[in-house]
Amino acid sequence: MIKFLLEFKTNFWKDFDDETGFLLTDEEIPTWWTQLPSESNLLTGWLGGPNATKKIFEPDPSLLQIALLSLSSIFHIPPAMLKEELSNYKIINWLNHPHVKGGYSYNTLYSDKSKEILATPVNNTIYFAGEAICTGDSQGTVESALQSGHDVAKMMIGHLRSEKKE
């Protein structure tokens, strides 16, 4: 997954639609979002999956150019004009980050069994929580990490209560 953070001198996209939030397009960098409801001159671009993998070693200036071309096509503004409007940018290429090497987690064939093993408390003393062991619908998100934390805390409290009764 590659994220593009582009800050412009103005939020020119408001000229097209005052309510622009998410833009889902067919461009090379297909997904964009604004900071709505906050007023901001920042646009975030997002590229994931195999198309991001193809660009793993692409240098930032080249990725920036691709991003500007995508925006140029979306908003019908010449790329040179967009470049002129750009005040700052940061491209986060998670794929070639040595401690990340990717983006969101996803299940493989044995994930369910592995997660079951990983989620088993040790002697009712050490408990494991986190997105890595979550089996719900929202895999790969902070939401699932929170859900897992909540579920494991409940399990611990349940265990403490049953111990007190004994």
Residue number with CB closer to ligand FAD (11 or 141): 141
Determine the Cα angle at 32 with ends 40 and 58, to 5°. Answer: 110
| Binding of residue 142 to ligand FAD (CB under 6 A) | yes
CB of 143 to ligand FAD, least distance (A): 6
Binding letters toward ligand FAD, positions 76-95, x by CB under 6 A: ------------------x-
User: Where does this chain touch ligand FAD (CB under 6 A) — which range of 34-42, 76-84, 113-121, 139-147?
Assistant: 139-147
Whole-number Å distance between alpha carbons of 154 and 23: 39
Q: How many residues bind ligand FAD (CB under 6 A)?
A: 13
65 burial type by CB count under 10 A (0-12 exposed, 13-18 middle, 19+ buried)? middle
**Is cis: bond before 37, omega within 30 of 0?**
yes
Residue number with CB closer to ligand FAD (52 or 68): 52
| Binding of residue 22 to ligand FAD (CB under 6 A) | no
166 burial type by CB count under 10 A (0-12 exposed, 13-18 middle, 19+ buried)? exposed
| Binding of residue 130 to ligand FAD (CB under 6 A) | yes
Whole-number Å distance between alpha carbons of 73 and 27: 8
Give the footprint of ligand FAD on this chain (CB under 6 A): 1, 94, 100, 103-104, 130-132, 140-143, 145
